[in-house]
Structure 1
Amino acid sequence: MPDTLAEAFEARRDRLRAVAHRLLGSHADAEDVVQEAWLRLSRQDAAAIDNLDGWLTTVVGRISLDVLRSRKSRPESPYDEIVVAVDDGSEDVARADSVGLALLVVLESLGPAERLAFVLHDLFAVPFEEIGRILGKSAGATKMLASRARRKVRAADAPPAGRASQREVVTAFLRAARDGDFEGLLRVLDPDVQLTVDTPGGVVVVLGATKVAAGAQFGAASDGSTVLVGGLPGVVAWRPDGSPLSVVAFVVADGRVARIAAVADPVRLASMDLPKPQ
């Protein structure tokens, strides 16, 4: 393989990695996808590729789509590589972190085709015609997928509310959950709220305020450590022996809890760098 082609690929590696990471939410998976794209390129006749940028984006998109579809029975946790830190109540914490995790939590709720269409078009300006070829759909159908996805992520793209006001909403939710106050839970939950729980048996997703309120069991977490999870308000609950019981993060939009993401899998919790109990 000529060095010139290898050099051309290396010049595009950062962008390809960024595309794969936005699609998959995991740096490790993104690296694997980019490496597979290089292997596929190395087996091609370079002279037959008219548009290397388009060819590589298509390949990365298709490989990522296969990964997303393989996750259908085991949705990914949004906590990979997310920093959990003590919440000292200050307002100067980098808000980009909270927007990034909020977007990732919402992206997790999208179907593979919606996620691909939104990420490639809205974040990387790939034309709908090219995305349609990856999905095997028309440009019009692909545009509709992206539009539907865009509506779902709009709240995550909006500037976050002040740290104090977000925490007030979360505190109200935890208090209502602890007290078994069903009506109080409904008041602070967005009607379309999504709860994602990473358990030892896999990721469980619950949709809608009524179902989330009916199954809310965060009483233990309400007495845990107040933390920021990727910049989002959250809590860490601890067992008596000092080991973590759960990590929960909340996305607050328009004064209500719009997304809840929790980790209760001991293996994943053990891999997280958590602040010590206070």
Structure 2
Amino acid sequence: MADDSSPQDPASGDRVADAFESQRDRLRSVAYRMLGSHADAEDVVQEAWLRLSRQDPAAIGNLAGWLTTVVGRISLDVLRSRRSRPDVSYDVRLPELAETPGGGTEPAEDAALAESVGLALLVVLDTLGPSERLAFVLHDLFAVPFDEVGPILGKSTAAAKMLASRARRKVQENRPPAGAGREQREVVTAFLAAARHGDFEGLLRLLDPDVRLTVDSPGGVAVTLGATAVARGAKLSAGAAGGGREVLVDGRPGVVSWRADGTPLAVLAFTVAAGRITEMTVVTNPQSLERLALLDPPRPEPGADA
């Protein structure tokens, strides 16, 4: 008699696929917080599915735990590969953007969300080693027990605890002060106002000398470096933001503007540090806008013309 749980059993395969889909969002979140890239996270999750499809489901006692282990190990391999190839620049890609709720009506909530989704993530990615990062992300953000984190790292439970503690201390040391979200948004608002009014000196005061501007337009992706060059082209930013609403874009202050027909016109995202803009991203390319995770456009005011 055939084993109902064998990989060849169609019903068993359907159950495994359904179980995997129920875990997909969580796995994608784990991979994204490890890698800082939506595209890389999707690749990791897809690889996890391929590995699962080659397994006997009956041999997996805890599917959620098994998948978390696989995604953690794949992500760790990706991080270590990046470290081993310092000559490869990962900044040449257009930053991955996703709009999250929040737009300035509740500054305290905005700051908390920016910290948890964006700023803390940047700290993790930029200051932690791969093993520290994995221990911190899995335990502190996804409540994976240390006795499960250790084997993923190839270390003891005690060593995993130590790595997470070290990572947690670094994140806490770099935590933005209370009100940081509101202050960052004020810098962005001032920048857009200066751009609209052609206040070149005002723009220079708000831009970090080494600011980086990435523009994704129908003509392709272009990068501009330096405050003077970015200030000269600042009218594009003000024009793209015209009539837009304030949002958080991957935890950063940003603006999304829409056409009258409800299709997105532009997305802007800003990174602010010490009262100055250090990085800007402007997306006006329709194909790129279609791939971004944007919330629904604002509803027209009652009585407005169709």
TM-score (norm 2): 0.55
State the alpha-carbon separation in 2 of the partners of residues 24 and 255 from structure 1.
Answer: 24
Is 2:247 the counterpart of 1:225? no
2:105 pairs with 1:89: yes
Q: Which residue of 2 aligns with 1:273?
A: 295
Specify whether residues 119 and 227 from structure 1 end up closer, same or farther in structure 2 by C-alpha distance, changes over 3 A only.
farther
Kept in 1, the 8 Å contact 2:100–2:295? The answer is yes
Given the alignment of the two structures, is residue 186 of structure 1 paired with residue 204 of structure 2, yes or no?
Answer: yes
Residue 253 of structure 1 corresponds to 273
> Map of 1:129-208 to 2, 5 A cutoff?
157-159=175-177, 161-200=179-218, 202-208=220-226
Alignment-derived partner of residue 29 in structure 1: 43
Structure 2 alignment gaps of length 5 or more: 1-5, 8-19, 57-65, 137-151, 154-169, 302-306
Partner of 1:124: 134
Q: Secondary structure at the match of 1:124?
A: helix
TM-score by length of 1: 0.60
Identity of aligned residues (%): 37
Distance 1:177 1:115, change over 3 A: same
- Residue 118 of structure 2 aligns with which residue? 101
Q: Does 1:215 align with 2:233?
A: yes
How far, CA to CA, are the matches of 2:91 and 2:272 in structure 1? 27
Pick aligned residue for 1:61 from 76, 92, 99: 76
Q: Of the two, which has the highest radius of gyration? A: 2
Matched letter for residue 93 of structure 1 = E
Match of 1:243 among 263, 279, 283: 263
Q: Deviations over 1:102-145 (max 9, x none)?
A: 466x58xxxxxx9698452442259xxx99xxxxxxxxxxxxxx
Root-mean-square deviation (Å): 4.8
Q: Is the 8 A contact 2:243 2:257 kept in 1?
A: yes
Structure 1 residues 241 and 14, CA gap change in structure 2 (3 angstroms): closer
Given that 2:246 and 2:253 are in contact with CA atoms closer than 8 Å, whether structure 1 keeps it comes out as: yes
Aligned mates of 1:166, 1:116 — CA distance in 2: 20
- 8 Å Cα contact 1:197-1:261 kept in structure 2: yes
The count of residues paired between Structure 1 and Structure 2 equals 234
1:56–1:25 CA distance, 2 compared to 1 (3 A): closer
2: distance between equivalents of 1:186 and 1:73? Answer: 24
- Residue 58 of structure 1 deviates from its aligned partner by 5.4
2:12 corresponds in structure 1 to none
Indicate if the aligned counterparts of 2:214 and 2:221 stay in contact, CA closer than 8 A: yes
Return the alpha-carbon distance in structure 2 between the equivalents of residues 15 and 120 of structure 1: 20
> How big is each residue's C-alpha offset from its partner over 1:152-196, in whole Å with a ceiling of 9 and x where there is no partner?
x99975346444433321121112212232221110012232223
